Chains A and B, each alone.
Chain A
């Protein structure tokens, strides 16, 4: 009997499967799938937790366009996105390349670089708040010893978002490094040997072998990096609570404030839908152009 007929014979044969997927699937539907539909429905209502909700069409969305704080949060989120992704990926790739050199003793160094990624965002936020402390934080002590004037890092609207960005880059390098390292280890050594024979220099090899071979990893990190940036919240809420004067508020921080301190669930849902559209758009682009990663 060929395996194909065996398969057909077995078709519909395992009703026990429904029992096995039921707990997972019901939880998935109830806590992920249905809420995703509901958040869209809420966004067309004036839902505020205390009164019955009414359908109000696109009013929430119209209001969003005139909400300066929300627009500011979109702008901050985009600044955060651009300013974290590029340095994190560049530094992640650089670290991975160094850690991948055979004779560099890397296990310990690799673990150290990955550590910030393991430690919770709350914990690293507290640590960086100490580093940024205007009077006894180490950053200002270093600046002063170099003869520069100290800064009010998290208290100055000019510097606050930048301060959060610096911390986030530091936290993200380890993750990028691990993904790039996996990519590097997938490059066949023959490529480099052939290039050596052809007399190509190290820099040339890096540009023409390493970088192209890392394209799938780069693309993956780029897409996940964008989605993660859309959702930035924890470090903002812990370190600055969106201040000073909304200079660090982000889209998710706005959703949190509107929904869970003001209970404007309908309005906050419209903000969530904006975020969801962004994520879906990036995911679709990923599906269209990311297919090449399976070839590598």
Chain B
């Protein structure tokens, strides 16, 4: 008996040890963010910093316009997720619960959208954003100006609605018993009212799941901001980090401090809401 216990302790120890080796890149990130540049360059390597320079964080944030980059990322992510959730949940509800002509065809067409990777269509989407009428000096035909390039609109609008989020909502709403609708109808409750007063309160987990998936995706986004922004003040944190180099070469301590700061918010969200996030991943993967 004690032998099995000992064996189990050893295996548990090994698992934790492997997990720690796996985390080595992040450990290096953290310790480097607290070292001085002289220490990083010194040939005598030490894992822990000789003195913990928390001031690196403030100094890193003062190189470049980091408060502005964070503001951009927070604004874009919040608005995209907030409005996106509303748009996708009501559509998911309609596809799951309402009868209307052409429903199945329209739904099938949006299935096709799941297949199309963002990278394949980035050129036409870029042209669409550039050609928004009456925006950025454009005329009614969308010519002459820059449209929504280099604006919050351009960062937000193309990512509001994705078939994937709508599907997750639809799947969830399909699970409600039909009798619920009928009972609501008998009580004289309109479809919309039943959505707001019955479906939403019973669906908070799926709202949390989609919101979390979308928040992390949006915060981590790099390619789209890279393509459509061109001024320093429109940079998001990911874009700013990827371009973060100072005159004095690569200042790894500042770079790692910034990296930690842009990774941390999503990590905390994930740690506290892990259940919802993993549910979304698993639903998309295993249940189709």
Task: List residues of A whose CB falls within 8 A of some B CB.
Answer: 3, 6-7, 10-18, 20-21, 23-25, 27-28, 30-36, 38-39, 42, 98-99, 101, 103-106, 108-109, 111-116, 118-128, 130-131, 133, 135-136, 138, 141, 170, 173, 175, 178-179, 182-183, 186, 216-217, 220-221, 224, 227, 230-231, 233-234, 237-238, 252, 255-256, 259-260, 265, 268-269, 272, 275-276, 279-280, 283, 293-294
Contacts and interface: CB of A to CB of B under 8 A. Distances in A.
A95 to B, nearest CB: 9
B121 interface: yes
Q: What is the interface of chain B mostly: helix, strand, loop, or mixed? A: helix
Nearest to B86: A23
B266 A119 contact: yes
B242 A122 contact: yes
B246 to A, nearest CB: 14
Contact of A12 (B94, B99, B115, B182): B99
Contacts of A294: 288
Contacts of A33: 109, 112-113, 116
Contacts of A98: 15
A119 B18 CA distance: 19
Contact of A135 (B41, B91, B271, B286): B41
B41 A20 contact: no
Contacts of A280: 115
Contact of B100 (A6, A17, A42, A115): A17
Contacts of A265: 123, 127
B19 interface: yes
5 contacts: A20-B98, A27-B160, A109-B18, A121-B222, A238-B222
A41 to B, nearest CB: 9
B234 interface: no
A4 B264 CA distance: 52
B6 to A, nearest CB: 12
A145 to B, nearest CB: 9
B121 A32 contact: yes
B123 A108 contact: no
Given A122-B222, A293-B288, 18 more contacts: A12-B99, A23-B90, A24-B88, A24-B166, A27-B158, A33-B116, A104-B11, A114-B278, A120-B221, A125-B242, A127-B256, A178-B285, A183-B286, A186-B286, A231-B119, A260-B227, A276-B117, A279-B115
B56 interface: no
Contact of B281 (A18, A109, A121, A178): A178
A268 B123 contact: yes
Given A33-B109, A109-B16, A3 B285 contact: no
Given A35-B121, A126-B241, A179-B281, A21 B94 contact: yes
Interface string B209-229: 000000010011111001100
A130 B29 contact: yes
B206 interface: no
Contacts of A103: 8, 12
Given A179-B285, A217-B286, A279-B120, A115 B23 contact: yes
B182 A15 contact: no
Nearest to B192: A16
A112 B19 contact: yes
A54 to B, nearest CB: 16
Nearest to A33: B113
B119 A255 contact: yes
A182 B274 CA distance: 14
B115 A283 contact: yes
A275 B120 contact: yes
A25 B220 contact: no
Nearest to B83: A23
B167 to A, nearest CB: 11
B259 A123 contact: yes
A238 B91 contact: no
B191 interface: yes
B40 interface: yes
Given A260-B227, A283-B115, A36 B121 contact: yes
Contact of B267 (A12, A118, A255): A118
B189 to A, nearest CB: 13
B45 A39 contact: no
Given A20-B91, A276-B120, A293-B288, A108 B274 contact: no
B241 A31 contact: no
B87 interface: yes
B220 A121 contact: yes
A104 B15 contact: yes
A144 B60 CA distance: 31
Contacts of A20: 90-91, 93-94, 98
Contacts of A122: 220, 222, 238-239, 241-242, 262
B123 A39 contact: yes
Contacts of B150: none
A208 to B, nearest CB: 21
B196 to A, nearest CB: 12
Interface string B246-281: 000010100110010011001100110010011001
A221 to B, nearest CB: 8
B40 A119 contact: no
Contacts of A133: 250, 252
A268 B121 CA distance: 11
